[in-house]
């Protein structure tokens, strides 16, 4: 972002950058930046809070009044990422002949469809759609249990995209099932990896792919890096 | 250290390109300025080309589009905020409100989305696709760009 600020400014367009990593912003030093210590992935801080988002924008646009720069100012509010897993019911076991994660994914389909109907758009679809998610999880289950990842039939042949599709399917479904307020920061991520069979299956498949000697980028980016 | 703290610590150590003679545009009054959003969230419409793993290009988002998905390749940040509210990443409705209030001159007809996960040297967006995107916004009469990071 800070690099693009320099590029756009050189083209004659004034820029204001929101910053999410203060050290990097200070290093690249864009002309005007408002550092926002908010959950990563939420540069305006709070979903469905127009007043707060307007506050961020007002503070950002106020930097256009600075006579010279670079200017790096901190938003006064810090929003910590919640690491408590989301409270969200998972479907009961329905078909014991299936791997638990496949059964679970099937059970979430109606919730996923409700979210899609409500929002009209889904992030699932990089290499598979909702119909293909249980099967993709089945492939990861096989990999976790010893199948060769290169031969197992991963949709798109790509270890990372399929994990995005599965995680997005779960997270979009979970927003229909959540008890209480909407998830903050990493609460949804923690729920997915710590509490769902699909999350555990991806982690196990990733470990198996790593142990098979696959190159770092093939397995590492299947899940968040600190896991 | 929680996930965001770990990612911030990692990102803080990445190389940062230097701009020895940075440009500085003295902006005209905001109430007379046309404002565009440029985000690194890899947003795109469902009918647009998806972002590839090392995509140095950009996608153009028409002002009226709200059916956007995040095509970012990084699993290292929250992906649900944008599902709850597009504006937490791409504050297009907030810009429309500011234009109605007269706080900004106009909302640009087109906005720009890059992917935040770029090669360390960022050479392509610095020398090629970034200037192309800037020229496109310039042609639309954009005076001010708001950059939102993901």
| A199 band by pLDDT with thresholds 50, 70 and 90 | very high
Examine the domain organization and report whether A111 and A204 are in the same domain.
Answer: yes
Alpha helix stretches (DSSP H) within chain A: 2-10, 22-28, 50-62, 100-107, 109-119, 133-144, 159-177, 187-195, 197-211, 216-220
* Residue B100: exposure state from Cβ atoms within 10 A (0-12, 13-18, ≥19): exposed
Sort out which chain A residues have CB atoms less than 8 A from B104's CB and list them.
Answer: 61
Sort out which chain B residues have CB atoms less than 8 A from A64's CB and list them.
Answer: 27, 30, 144
Query: Measured on CA atoms in the order A28, A32, A36, A41, is the torsion positive or negative?
Result: negative
Q: How many domains does chain A have?
A: 2
Kindly report the nearest CA distance between residue A205 and chain B, in angstroms. 16
Token pair listed for A127: 């290499």
- Examine residue B36 and state whether it is found in any structural domain, yes or no: yes
Measure CB to CB from residue A47 to each of B27, B53, B85 and give the nearest one.
Answer: B85
The stretch A198-227 carries a mean pLDDT of: 95
Q: Which residue of B has its CA nearest to A44?
A: B88
Confidence at residue A226, expressed as pLDDT on a 0 to 100 scale: 84
Q: Which residue of A has its CA nearest to B1?
A: A226
Last residue of a domain, one of A74, A90, A122: A74
How many Cβ atoms are within 10 Å of A38's Cβ, its own excluded?
A: 26
Examine the domain organization and report whether A107 and A47 are in the same domain.
Answer: no
Examine the domain organization and report whether A69 and A111 are in the same domain.
Answer: no
A150 has a pLDDT exceeding 80: yes
Q: Which residue of A has its CA nearest to B97?
A: A54
Confidence at residue A201, expressed as pLDDT on a 0 to 100 scale: 98
- Examine residue A151 and state whether it is found in any structural domain, yes or no: yes
Kindly report the nearest CA distance between residue A7 and chain B, in angstroms. 6
Confidence at residue B121, expressed as pLDDT on a 0 to 100 scale: 76
Measure CB to CB from residue B130 to each of A4, A42, A47 and give the nearest one.
Answer: A4
| Cβ contact B88–A125 (<8 Å) | no
- Examine residue B20 and state whether it is found in any structural domain, yes or no: no
- Examine residue A7 and state whether it is found in any structural domain, yes or no: yes
Confidence at residue B120, expressed as pLDDT on a 0 to 100 scale: 76
- Examine residue A59 and state whether it is found in any structural domain, yes or no: yes
Confidence at residue A43, expressed as pLDDT on a 0 to 100 scale: 97
Sort out which chain B residues have CB atoms less than 8 A from A16's CB and list them.
Answer: 144-147
CB A21 within 8 A of CB A39: no
Confidence at residue B15, expressed as pLDDT on a 0 to 100 scale: 83
Examine the domain organization and report whether A128 and A182 are in the same domain.
Answer: yes
Choose from A43, A50, A51, A59 for mutation: most chain B CBs within 10 A: A43
Examine the domain organization and report whether A70 and A145 are in the same domain.
Answer: no
Q: How many domains does chain B have?
A: 1
Containing structural domain, residue A187: 100-220
Confidence at residue A54, expressed as pLDDT on a 0 to 100 scale: 98
- Examine residue A28 and state whether it is found in any structural domain, yes or no: yes
- Examine residue A113 and state whether it is found in any structural domain, yes or no: yes
| Cβ contact A186–B4 (<8 Å) | yes
The stretch A221-227 carries a mean pLDDT of: 90
Q: Which residue of B has its CA nearest to A123?
A: B69
Confidence at residue A203, expressed as pLDDT on a 0 to 100 scale: 98
The Cα–Cα gap between A226 and B2 comes to 8
| pLDDT tens-place values along chain B, 150 residues long | 788 999 999 999 888 888 989 999 999 999 999 999 999 999 999 999 999 988 999 999 999 999 999 999 989 889 999 999 999 999 999 999 999 999 999 999 999 999 988 877 788 999 999 999 999 999 999 999 999 999
Range with the poorest average pLDDT among A79-88, A114-123, A172-181: A79-88
Residue showing tokens 């919640």: A82
The whole model's pTM is what? Answer: 0.95
Last residue of a domain, one of A74, A90, A115: A74
| Cβ contact B80–A171 (<8 Å) | yes
Confidence at residue A82, expressed as pLDDT on a 0 to 100 scale: 75
Examine the domain organization and report whether A139 and A44 are in the same domain.
Answer: no
CB A198 within 8 A of CB A101: yes
Confidence at residue B130, expressed as pLDDT on a 0 to 100 scale: 96
Long-range contacts (CB closer than 8 Å, 24 or more residues apart) made by B49-52? B50/A126, B51/B115
The Cα–Cα gap between B76 and A41 comes to 9
| Cβ contact B12–A24 (<8 Å) | yes
Examine the domain organization and report whether A65 and A126 are in the same domain.
Answer: no
Q: Which residue of B has its CA nearest to A2?
A: B147
Examine the domain organization and report whether A134 and A202 are in the same domain.
Answer: yes
- C-alpha A36: how far from its chain's center? 19
| Cβ contact B75–A224 (<8 Å) | yes
Examine the domain organization and report whether A59 and A120 are in the same domain.
Answer: no
A182 has a pLDDT exceeding 90: no
- Examine residue A169 and state whether it is found in any structural domain, yes or no: yes
Examine the domain organization and report whether A49 and A141 are in the same domain.
Answer: no
Mean pLDDT of chain A: 95
The stretch A142-158 carries a mean pLDDT of: 95
∠ CA B106-B85-B48, nearest 5°, is 75
Strand partners, A74: A35
- Examine residue A17 and state whether it is found in any structural domain, yes or no: yes
Examine the domain organization and report whether A65 and A149 are in the same domain.
Answer: no
Q: Which residue of A has its CA nearest to B146?
A: A16
* Residue A181: exposure state from Cβ atoms within 10 A (0-12, 13-18, ≥19): exposed
The Cα–Cα gap between A199 and A197 comes to 5
The Cα–Cα gap between B100 and B121 comes to 40
Query: Measured on CA atoms in the order A100, A106, A109, A110, is the torsion positive or negative?
Result: negative
pLDDT, tens digit, for every residue of A20-72? 999 999 999 999 999 999 999 999 999 999 999 999 999 999 999 999 999 99
Sort out which chain B residues have CB atoms less than 8 A from A50's CB and list them.
Answer: 87, 93-94, 97
- Examine residue B21 and state whether it is found in any structural domain, yes or no: no
Containing structural domain, residue B40: 28-148
A145 has a pLDDT exceeding 80: yes
Please report, rounded to a whole number, the percentage of residues in chain A having pLDDT higher than 90: 87
Examine the domain organization and report whether A200 and A128 are in the same domain.
Answer: yes
- Examine residue A226 and state whether it is found in any structural domain, yes or no: no
A78 touches chain B (CB under 8 A): no
A60 touches chain B (CB under 8 A): yes
> In Å, how far are A34, A103, B53, B149 from B8, measured between CA atoms?
16, 36, 21, 13
| Cβ contact A41–B82 (<8 Å) | yes
| Cβ contact B143–A13 (<8 Å) | yes
Confidence at residue A68, expressed as pLDDT on a 0 to 100 scale: 95
């Amino acid at each position: 972002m800070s690099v693009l600020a320099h590029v756009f400014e050189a083209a004659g367009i004034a820029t204001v950058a929101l910053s999410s990593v203060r050290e990097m912003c200070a290093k690249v030093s864009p002309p005007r930046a408002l550092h926002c210590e908010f959950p990563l992935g939420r540069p305006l801080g709070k979903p469905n809070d127009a007043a707060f988002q307007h506050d961020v924008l007002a503070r950002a646009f106020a930097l256009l009044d600075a006579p010279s720069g670079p200017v790096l100012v901190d938003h006064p509010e810090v929003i910590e990422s919640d690491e408590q897993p989301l409270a969200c019911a998972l479907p009961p076991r329905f078909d014991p002949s299936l791997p638990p994660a496949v059964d679970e994914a099937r059970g979430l389909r109606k919730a996923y469809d409700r979210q899609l109907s409500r929002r009209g758009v889904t992030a699932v679809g990089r290499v598979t759609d909702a119909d293909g998610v249980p099967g993709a999880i089945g492939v990861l289950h096989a990999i976790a249990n010893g199948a060769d990842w290169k031969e197992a039939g991963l949709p798109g042949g790509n270890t990372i995209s399929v994990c995005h599709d599965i995680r997005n399917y779960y997270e979009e479904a979970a927003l229909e099932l959540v008890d209480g307020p909407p998830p903050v920061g990493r609460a949804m991520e923690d729920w997915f990896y710590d509490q769902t069979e699909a999350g555990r299956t991806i982690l196990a498949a990733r470990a198996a792919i790593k142990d098979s000697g696959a190159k770092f980028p093939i397995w590492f980016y299947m899940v968040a890096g600190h896991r | 250290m929680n996930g965001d703290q770990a990612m911030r610590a990692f990102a803080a150590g990445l190389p940062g390109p230097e701009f020895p003679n940075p440009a500085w545009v003295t902006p005209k009054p905001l109430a007379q300025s046309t404002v565009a959003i440029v985000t690194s969230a890899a947003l795109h419409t469902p009918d647009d080309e998806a972002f590839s793993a090392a995509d140095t290009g950009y996608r153009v988002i028409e002002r009226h589009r709200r059916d956007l998905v995040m095509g970012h390749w990084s699993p290292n940040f929250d992906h649900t905020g944008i599902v709850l509210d597009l504006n937490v990443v791409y504050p297009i409705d907030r810009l429309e409100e500011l234009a109605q209030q007269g706080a900004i001159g106009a909302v640009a007809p087109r906005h720009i989305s890059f992917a935040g996960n770029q090669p360390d040297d960022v050479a392509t967006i610095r020398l090629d696709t970034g200037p192309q995107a800037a020229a496109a916004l310039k042609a639309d009469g954009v005076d001010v760009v708001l950059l939102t990071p993901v």
